[in-house]
Chain A
Amino acid sequence: AQRVTQPEKLLSVFKGAPVELKCNYSYSGSPELFWYVQYSRQRLQLLLRHISRESIKGFTADLNKGETSFHLKKPFAQEEDSAMYYCALSPAFFQGAQKLVFGQGTRLTINP
C-alpha cells in the first residue's frame, strides 16, 4: 500500500529561523516524490519534485530511500512562506496514470 505521512499538522517558526517539514512514505517500488503548497486563497500548486533537484523559493528536499523520507527544508524562513504544505508521491506507471497520494498536510506559520 502507498502511504504518505506528515507527522506535524501545525508548525510555527520565527522569521529567519530554519524550517523543516517532515515527510515519510511507504511504497514498495520507486516512487516520485513531490511537495505541493497552498497559499491563502490560492489553489494547490507544485513547489518542487525530487527528480528536479532544484531549489524553489529557497526550499530544498532530498529523497532518502533508506529512511523513506523526503523532508522539506529552508535555512531562513520568510513570512511569505506561511502556507499549507503537502507531501505527495506518485506510484510508478500505474496504467500510464500518475495519480498522486498525498499526506495530511502541515500548516506552516512564520511569525514576525
Chain B
Amino acid sequence: GAGVSQSPRYKVAKRGQDVALRCDPISGHVSLFWYQQALGQGPEFLTYFQNEAQLDKSGLPSDRFFAERPEGSVSTLKIQRTQQEDSAVYLCASSYRAGGISTDTQYFGPGTRLTVL
C-alpha cells in the first residue's frame, strides 16, 4: 500500500514569505507527527495529532509555526514569515494507534526540504 507522502518535496522561500507543507499519512493511521531535521542533526519533534486533535505542540519553535489536521487525515504545517533558521527538512510520520502498552511504529514520509533565502 501507499506510504506516507509529503508535498512539495522541495520548497525555496524568500525570507518573510509564508509556506505550507502537506502530509498525507497512511490511510487509517490515528497518530500523526511532525519533525524538523536541520542539516547534520537528528529529527526533532514538533507536534503530534491524534485524529484531528493536536495533543502536543511543545516542539513548535515559535508562534510562526502552526499545524492542523482538520479531518483527522491530511495535515498541513504552516510557517509564517519564514526565517533563514527555518531551513531544514520537515518530516511527517504516522502510526496506526494512539497509545498502548508499547510505542507504535512510526512510518516516515520522504520529507520536504525547505530552503529560506
Q: B-contacting residues of A (Cβ < 8 Å)?
A: 4, 6, 9, 32, 34, 43-46, 49, 51, 86, 88, 90, 93-105
- B56, A46: Cβ atoms closer than 8 Å: no
A89 closest partner in B (C-beta): B103
Among B10-18, B19-27, B42-50, B76-84, the stretch that binds chain A is B42-50
Q: Which residue of the partner chain, among A34, A94, A105, contacts B56 with CB atoms under 8 Å?
A: A94
Interface size class of B (residues with CB under 8 A): 20 to 34
- B50, A97: Cβ atoms closer than 8 Å: yes
Beyond A44-B43, A86-B42, A97-B55, whether A32 also contacts B102 by CB under 8 A is yes
Beyond A32-B102, A43-B3, A51-B102, whether A100 also contacts B45 by CB under 8 A is yes
Count of A-B residue pairs with CB < 8 Å: 70
- A97, B48: Cβ atoms closer than 8 Å: yes
Q: Which residue of the partner chain, among B33, B50, B55, B103, contacts A32 with CB atoms under 8 Å?
A: B103
- B102, A97: Cβ atoms closer than 8 Å: no
Give min CB distance, A37 to chain B, whole Å: 11
- B42, A104: Cβ atoms closer than 8 Å: yes
Give min CB distance, A55 to chain B, whole Å: 17
Beyond A32-B102, A96-B50, A97-B50, whether A103 also contacts B56 by CB under 8 A is no
Q: Which residues of B contact A102 (CB under 8 A)?
A: 35, 42-44
CA distance A59 to B1 in the complex (A): 27
B56 closest partner in A (C-beta): A97
Counting CB contacts under 8 A, is B62 at the interface? no
CA distance A100 to B45 in the complex (A): 7
Beyond A43-B3, A44-B91, A93-B99, whether A98 also contacts B41 by CB under 8 A is no
Q: Which residues of B contact A86 (CB under 8 A)?
A: 42-43
Counting CB contacts under 8 A, is B95 at the interface? yes
Q: Which residues of A contact B35 (CB under 8 A)?
A: 100, 102
